[in-house]
């Protein structure tokens, strides 16, 4: 089954404790992206990647890191989480020939 | 700042009626337009894409694009309670870009 898989689905952590949210897609898509979604603000892009080893900042990159060492994986790293990073996070991927994004199920993160 | 505007709602529509959702965008050069549906706590899923002026129909859904007026709309005929969700409008600037600019979404409630 074609899908984008995020883990974990739910995470509660404390300020300053490094965490990684994984994202993997099995559709051989070139493009991958991370969003956060907060009430009333819609989807805001954090980082995106056009292909392996090619990443770039989105609209709200502060406090986040990403890497794209393999085509299928695009992890999101929070080196020192803060309460303002409490949010619902989505990973998405898109093939090179169609700008249609396929989303993972989401990760709900709470930083205490 | 390129923007996509949607009325946040909620928009309440009786079951069986036509639901009309609207979206305006600021970048006159935008090329591709998408409607995603998002159920509460779930990930967005694509329901319609439209690339040229006019109407595009898919089952009970019709997307309408008017580039001169910079708006795109989504009509849902014979609305069902299962259509109750938040509808996100997304706009792509150029055919070569994967970047989408997202509206904050309109919450639609279908009343039985």
**One-character DSSP codes across B36-64:** EEE-TTS--EEEEEE-SSEEEEETTEEEE
Q: Rounded to whole angstroms, how far apart are CA atoms B5 and B86?
A: 14
Q: Is B105 on the interface with A (CB under 8 A)?
A: yes
Tokens of B36: 């995603």
CB atoms B97 and A99 under 8 Å: yes
Strand partners, A31: A94
Give the residue ranges of DSSP H helices in chain B: none
Task: Inform me whether the C-beta atom of residue B101 falls under 8 Å from chain A C-beta atoms.
Answer: no
Nearest partner of B51 among A98, A30, A32, judged by Cα: A98
Q: Identify which of B101, B93, B98 has the alpha carbon closest to the alpha carbon of residue B23.
A: B101
What averages of pLDDT result for each successive group of 10 residues across chain B (112 residues)?
87 97 92 94 94 95 96 97 96 75 94 94
Quick check: B8 and A94 CB within 8 A? no
- Residue showing tokens 């994004």: A101
Q: Looking at A29-33, A37-41, A46-50, B47-51, which range is the least confident one?
A: A37-41
Q: Tell me: pLDDT of A16 over 90.
A: yes
What pLDDT is attached to residue B96?
Answer: 64
- CB spacing of A103 vs B45 below 8 angstroms: yes
Cite the DSSP H helix spans in A1-112. none
Of A33, A48, A103, the CB nearest to B43: A103
List, for residues A48-104, the tens digit of each pLDDT value. Answer: 999 999 999 998 999 999 999 999 999 999 999 999 999 999 999 998 766 789 999
pLDDT at A28 over 80: yes
Residue-level pLDDT at A42: 84
Contact A106 B103 (CB under 8 A): no
Mean pLDDT (whole number) for A31-36: 96
């Amino acid at each position: 089954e074609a899908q984008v898989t995020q883990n974990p689905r739910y995470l509660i952590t404390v300020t300053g404790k490094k965490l990684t949210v994984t994202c993997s897609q099995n559709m051989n898509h070139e493009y991958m992206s991370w969003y956060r979604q907060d009430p009333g603000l819609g989807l805001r892009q954090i980082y995106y990647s056009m292909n392996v080893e090619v990443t770039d900042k989105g609209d709200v990159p502060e406090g986040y890191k990403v890497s794209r060492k393999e085509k299928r994986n695009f992890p999101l790293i929070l080196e020192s989480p803060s309460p303002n990073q409490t949010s619902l996070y989505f990973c998405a991927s898109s093939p090179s020939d169609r700008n249609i994004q396929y989303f993972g199920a989401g990760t709900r993160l709470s930083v205490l | 700042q390129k923007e996509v505007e949607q009325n946040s709602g909620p928009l309440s529509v009786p079951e069986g009626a036509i639901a009309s959702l609207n979206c305006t965008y600021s970048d006159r050069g935008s090329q591709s337009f998408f409607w995603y549906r998002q159920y509460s706590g779930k990930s967005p899923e694509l329901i319609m894409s439209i690339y040229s002026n006019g109407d595009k129909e898919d089952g009970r859904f019709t997307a309408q694009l008017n580039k001169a007026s910079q708006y795109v709309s989504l009509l849902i005929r014979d609305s069902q309670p299962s259509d109750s969700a938040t509808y996100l409008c997304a706009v792509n600037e150029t055919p070569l870009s994967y970047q989408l600019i997202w509206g904050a979404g309109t919450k639609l409630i279908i009343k039985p």
